[in-house]
Structure 1
Amino acid sequence: MNALKTKFLTSKNFAVVGASTNPEKFGYKVLKWYLDRNMTVYPIHPKEKQICNVNCHTTITSLIDDLASKNELQGQNPVLSVSIVTPPKVTYGVLEEIKKNLNSKECLKNKEIICWIQPGAENEACKEFTSSNQLDTVYGCVLKDGDGVLETLNNNSKI
């Protein structure tokens, strides 16, 4: 079991960048996965107002600012876990935005954001960026691996 996947799923705040209103798209399926497990999740979409009856944010930055204004970035790390379901060029920009926020926002000082880049959302440039900028990143499919990680977390909490 990947320890970073486990840490990712211990967050109290999740975001899905590339959330979609189309039930056939992975952006919808990933968002629904979090909702079906009663996790606090925020869809990120540049145009939609709501997806699955959840208010959207247009960017990661707008979500971080909103969470900070509500004191939702307190407590254990990671303060935000971000699933990315976008084309690689968009993913790269999202990673840059996350890094910029980590470096510049006082509310994120000594805080951690973990990314889970879904299949097809990455390329070598994205992998190089996360590595060279020390962004904690999981690769693979949350739809495939997430339930197993949650089961392990639940079993460990019963010990």
Structure 2
Amino acid sequence: MPTEDLATLIADFTHRRVWAVVGVSANPHKFGYRVFRDLRQAGYRVYGVNPRVQEVDGETIYPSLESLPERPEVVDLVVPPAVTEQIVQECAHLGLERVWMQPGAESEAAIEYCRRHGIQVVHDACAMVEKLHWPEA
């Protein structure tokens, strides 16, 4: 993806206020925890998704995207590539339109699946690095 296209896509994603972080962790040393925390601190409404975690920092964590109380505008994936491939299928089934694959979560199969199903996808970019350029919430 050309740099200017990626920048445009990231700008669009970061203007969206409701995010889901799939792969959130209760361990403050894990990237899934830091993404969840940092997005919340930046003023975004963020839902954590992990079937093995019930609460992080007093916030309810949901077992699936389908169980969320509202539809996320962006789904941020902090999971292994094989899980990403399953989650993008769930996104398509639910009609979710934006997926951000954190470094280490992406796979060519998942990226292609998103493109074939009309899901905008950011990959090869870290949300926490790009956060430096995000609008104020």
Q: What TM-score, normalized to structure 2?
A: 0.88
The count of aligned residue pairs is 130
5+ residue gaps, structure 2: none
Aligned residues: CA RMSD: 1.5
Which 4+ residue blocks in structure 1 deviate beyond 2 angstroms?
none
Instruction: Give me the whole-angstrom Cα distance separating, in 1, the residues matched to 2:94 and 2:43.
Output: 27
Aligned: 1:95 with 2:79: no
Query: What SS is found at the alignment partner of 1:56?
Result: strand
Instruction: Give me the whole-angstrom Cα distance separating, in 2, the residues matched to 1:52 and 1:83.
Output: 19
Among 25, 33, 47, which residue is 1:28 paired with?
33
The aligned amino acid for 2:111 is K
Instruction: Give me the whole-angstrom Cα distance separating, in 2, the residues matched to 1:99 and 1:6.
Output: 22
CA contact (8 A) 2:50 2:62 kept: yes
Among 119, 128, 131, which residue is 1:143 paired with?
128
How far did 1:14 drift? 0.8
Query: What SS is found at the alignment partner of 1:60?
Result: coil
Aligned: 1:130 with 2:114: yes
Deviations 1:122-159 (A, max 9, x none): 111112111222210111100111221x1xx45xxxxx
Higher share in helix: 1
Q: What TM-score, normalized to structure 1?
A: 0.76
The percentage of aligned residue pairs carrying the same residue is: 28
* Corresponding residue number in structure 2 for 1:82: 75
Trace 1:61-80 onto structure 2 (pairs within 5 A).
61-63=66-68, 66-67=69-70, 80=73
Instruction: Give me the whole-angstrom Cα distance separating, in 2, the residues matched to 1:96 and 1:126.
Output: 9
Query: What SS is found at the alignment partner of 1:83?
Result: strand
Instruction: Give me the whole-angstrom Cα distance separating, in 1, the residues matched to 2:77 and 2:22.
Output: 5
Instruction: Give me the whole-angstrom Cα distance separating, in 2, the residues matched to 1:12 and 1:36.
Output: 12
5+ residue gaps, structure 1: 68-72, 74-78, 103-111, 155-159
The aligned amino acid for 1:22 is N
How far did 1:120 drift? 0.3
Instruction: Give me the whole-angstrom Cα distance separating, in 1, the residues matched to 2:40 and 2:50.
Output: 16
